[in-house]
Amino acid sequence: MVARPKLGFSRHVETLSIENLPLLDLHGEPVNLAEQFDEYLLLIFLRHLA
Amino acid sequence: MRQQHAEFDRRGVKVAVLSFAEPAKLVRYQEHHQWPFTMLADPGRQAYQAFALKRLSWFQVFSPAALKLYWKLLRGGMKPEHYEGDDIYQSGGDFLIDRNGNILFAHRSQDPADRPSAVKLLQAIDRVLGKP
Protein backbone atom coordinates (compact mmCIF):
# COMPACT_ATOMS: atom_id res chain seq x y z
CA MET A 1 0.00 0.00 0.00
CA VAL A 2 1.27 3.47 -0.86
CA ALA A 3 0.58 6.16 1.70
CA ARG A 4 -1.31 9.24 0.55
CA PRO A 5 0.38 12.65 0.64
CA LYS A 6 -0.84 15.00 3.35
CA LEU A 7 0.05 18.45 4.56
CA GLY A 8 1.48 18.98 8.03
CA PHE A 9 1.00 16.41 10.75
CA SER A 10 -1.61 13.85 9.89
CA ARG A 11 -3.12 11.51 12.45
CA HIS A 12 -5.06 9.50 9.91
CA VAL A 13 -3.75 5.95 10.37
CA GLU A 14 -2.23 4.39 7.28
CA THR A 15 -0.53 1.00 7.17
CA LEU A 16 2.59 -0.17 5.37
CA SER A 17 4.36 -3.53 5.03
CA ILE A 18 7.54 -2.36 6.71
CA GLU A 19 9.26 -5.77 6.51
CA ASN A 20 9.43 -5.50 2.73
CA LEU A 21 11.20 -2.16 2.45
CA PRO A 22 14.65 -2.81 0.90
CA LEU A 23 16.75 -0.78 3.34
CA LEU A 24 20.48 -1.11 3.92
CA ASP A 25 22.72 -0.46 6.90
CA LEU A 26 25.95 1.52 6.66
CA HIS A 27 27.80 -1.64 5.57
CA GLY A 28 25.39 -2.14 2.69
CA GLU A 29 23.72 -5.12 4.35
CA PRO A 30 19.93 -5.57 4.12
CA VAL A 31 17.96 -4.42 7.16
CA ASN A 32 14.52 -5.55 8.24
CA LEU A 33 12.89 -2.41 9.61
CA ALA A 34 10.57 -4.47 11.82
CA GLU A 35 13.60 -5.76 13.74
CA GLN A 36 14.83 -2.25 14.54
CA PHE A 37 12.39 -1.40 17.33
CA ASP A 38 10.18 -2.79 20.08
CA GLU A 39 7.22 -0.39 20.30
CA TYR A 40 7.37 2.69 18.14
CA LEU A 41 9.75 3.96 15.52
CA LEU A 42 10.21 7.55 14.41
CA LEU A 43 11.43 7.53 10.83
CA ILE A 44 13.20 10.69 9.72
CA PHE A 45 13.63 10.82 5.97
CA LEU A 46 16.43 13.20 5.03
CA ARG A 47 16.24 15.40 1.97
CA HIS A 48 19.91 15.28 1.13
CA LEU A 49 23.16 15.10 3.03
CA ALA A 50 24.45 18.68 2.78
CA MET B 1 17.59 16.56 17.91
CA ARG B 2 20.50 14.73 19.52
CA GLN B 3 19.83 16.54 22.85
CA GLN B 4 16.32 15.06 22.88
CA HIS B 5 17.51 11.47 22.41
CA ALA B 6 16.60 10.49 25.98
CA GLU B 7 13.12 11.98 25.59
CA PHE B 8 12.37 9.70 22.64
CA ASP B 9 13.77 6.74 24.61
CA ARG B 10 11.58 7.62 27.59
CA ARG B 11 8.50 7.37 25.37
CA GLY B 12 9.52 4.00 23.96
CA VAL B 13 10.28 5.55 20.59
CA LYS B 14 13.35 4.50 18.67
CA VAL B 15 14.61 6.89 16.01
CA ALA B 16 15.90 5.87 12.59
CA VAL B 17 17.28 8.33 10.05
CA LEU B 18 16.86 7.35 6.41
CA SER B 19 18.68 8.71 3.41
CA PHE B 20 18.54 7.90 -0.28
CA ALA B 21 22.32 8.18 -0.40
CA GLU B 22 24.45 5.09 -0.95
CA PRO B 23 25.72 3.50 2.29
CA ALA B 24 29.32 4.59 1.58
CA LYS B 25 28.26 8.25 1.45
CA LEU B 26 26.18 7.78 4.56
CA VAL B 27 29.24 6.49 6.41
CA ARG B 28 31.07 9.75 5.64
CA TYR B 29 28.03 11.76 6.70
CA GLN B 30 27.70 9.82 9.96
CA GLU B 31 31.43 10.15 10.72
CA HIS B 32 30.97 13.90 10.46
CA HIS B 33 27.65 14.27 12.34
CA GLN B 34 27.77 11.36 14.81
CA TRP B 35 23.99 11.07 15.08
CA PRO B 36 23.01 8.87 18.06
CA PHE B 37 20.35 7.20 15.92
CA THR B 38 20.19 4.25 13.55
CA MET B 39 21.16 5.35 10.06
CA LEU B 40 19.64 3.51 7.13
CA ALA B 41 20.12 3.80 3.39
CA ASP B 42 17.37 3.62 0.79
CA PRO B 43 19.30 4.15 -2.45
CA GLY B 44 16.42 2.84 -4.56
CA ARG B 45 14.04 5.24 -2.79
CA GLN B 46 11.40 2.50 -2.40
CA ALA B 47 10.79 3.63 1.19
CA TYR B 48 10.53 7.27 0.07
CA GLN B 49 7.94 6.17 -2.48
CA ALA B 50 6.09 3.93 -0.03
CA PHE B 51 5.75 6.88 2.35
CA ALA B 52 4.66 9.10 -0.56
CA LEU B 53 7.61 11.49 -0.33
CA LYS B 54 7.65 13.20 -3.68
CA ARG B 55 10.28 15.29 -5.42
CA LEU B 56 9.91 19.02 -4.85
CA SER B 57 9.64 21.64 -7.56
CA TRP B 58 12.29 24.32 -8.12
CA PHE B 59 9.90 26.85 -6.58
CA GLN B 60 9.57 24.74 -3.41
CA VAL B 61 13.33 24.14 -3.05
CA PHE B 62 14.01 27.86 -3.43
CA SER B 63 10.90 29.16 -1.69
CA PRO B 64 11.23 32.34 0.42
CA ALA B 65 11.10 30.20 3.60
CA ALA B 66 13.84 27.93 2.27
CA LEU B 67 16.04 30.85 1.19
CA LYS B 68 15.59 32.40 4.64
CA LEU B 69 16.64 29.10 6.23
CA TYR B 70 19.73 28.77 3.98
CA TRP B 71 20.71 32.38 4.80
CA LYS B 72 20.26 31.76 8.52
CA LEU B 73 22.36 28.58 8.38
CA LEU B 74 25.15 30.26 6.41
CA ARG B 75 25.16 33.26 8.75
CA GLY B 76 25.36 30.81 11.65
CA GLY B 77 28.60 29.47 10.25
CA MET B 78 27.30 26.33 8.57
CA LYS B 79 29.49 25.25 5.70
CA PRO B 80 27.79 23.34 2.88
CA GLU B 81 29.02 19.78 2.63
CA HIS B 82 29.43 18.20 -0.77
CA TYR B 83 28.33 14.67 -1.51
CA GLU B 84 28.51 13.82 -5.19
CA GLY B 85 25.31 13.00 -7.03
CA ASP B 86 23.05 14.50 -4.41
CA ASP B 87 19.46 15.36 -5.28
CA ILE B 88 18.21 18.61 -3.74
CA TYR B 89 14.70 18.07 -5.09
CA GLN B 90 13.81 14.98 -3.02
CA SER B 91 11.45 15.86 -0.18
CA GLY B 92 11.87 14.56 3.35
CA GLY B 93 9.43 13.67 6.07
CA ASP B 94 8.84 12.36 9.56
CA PHE B 95 6.67 9.38 10.47
CA LEU B 96 5.81 7.56 13.67
CA ILE B 97 5.00 3.89 13.09
CA ASP B 98 4.07 1.02 15.37
CA ARG B 99 4.92 -2.68 15.24
CA ASN B 100 2.07 -3.36 12.80
CA GLY B 101 3.30 -0.82 10.28
CA ASN B 102 0.57 1.66 11.18
CA ILE B 103 1.63 5.23 10.49
CA LEU B 104 0.48 7.01 13.64
CA PHE B 105 1.43 10.42 12.34
CA ALA B 106 2.96 11.72 9.17
CA HIS B 107 4.68 14.96 8.30
CA ARG B 108 5.64 15.37 4.67
CA SER B 109 7.80 18.44 4.09
CA GLN B 110 6.48 20.91 1.55
CA ASP B 111 9.81 22.77 1.24
CA PRO B 112 13.29 22.49 2.79
CA ALA B 113 12.34 24.77 5.70
CA ASP B 114 9.28 22.70 6.54
CA ARG B 115 10.84 20.33 9.09
CA PRO B 116 9.43 19.99 12.61
CA SER B 117 11.77 20.55 15.53
CA ALA B 118 12.49 17.75 18.00
CA VAL B 119 10.16 19.47 20.47
CA LYS B 120 7.33 19.51 17.93
CA LEU B 121 7.94 15.84 17.14
CA LEU B 122 7.81 14.98 20.84
CA GLN B 123 4.56 16.95 21.20
CA ALA B 124 3.07 15.07 18.24
CA ILE B 125 4.20 11.76 19.76
CA ASP B 126 2.58 12.67 23.08
CA ARG B 127 -0.68 13.58 21.36
CA VAL B 128 -0.78 10.27 19.49
CA LEU B 129 0.37 8.04 22.32
CA GLY B 130 -1.56 9.94 24.98
CA LYS B 131 1.48 10.42 27.19
CA PRO B 132 2.53 13.59 29.06
Instruction: Give the model confidence (pLDDT) of B89-131 as tens digits.
Output: 888 999 999 998 899 989 998 888 888 899 999 999 999 888 6
Whether residue A4 has pLDDT greater than 60? no
Give A13's pLDDT tier (boundaries 50, 70, 90): low
CB contacts < 8 A, A to B, total 181
Residue B3 DSSP code: G
Does B29 lie at the interface with A, CB-CB under 8 angstroms?
Answer: yes
Residues 60-79, chain B: which have Cβ within 8 Å of A? none
CA distance B7 to B10: 5
Topology (CATH) of B2-129: Glutaredoxin (3.40.30)
CA distance B45 to B37: 20
Residue A32, min C-alpha distance to chain B (Å): 10
With an 8 Å Cβ cutoff, are B41 and A23 in contact?
yes
Chain A's closest residue to B50, CA to CA, is: A2
Does A32 lie at the interface with B, CB-CB under 8 angstroms?
Answer: no
Kindly provide the ipTM of the predicted complex, given to two decimals.
0.81
| Dihedral sign for Cα atoms in the order B32, B125, B54, B43 | positive
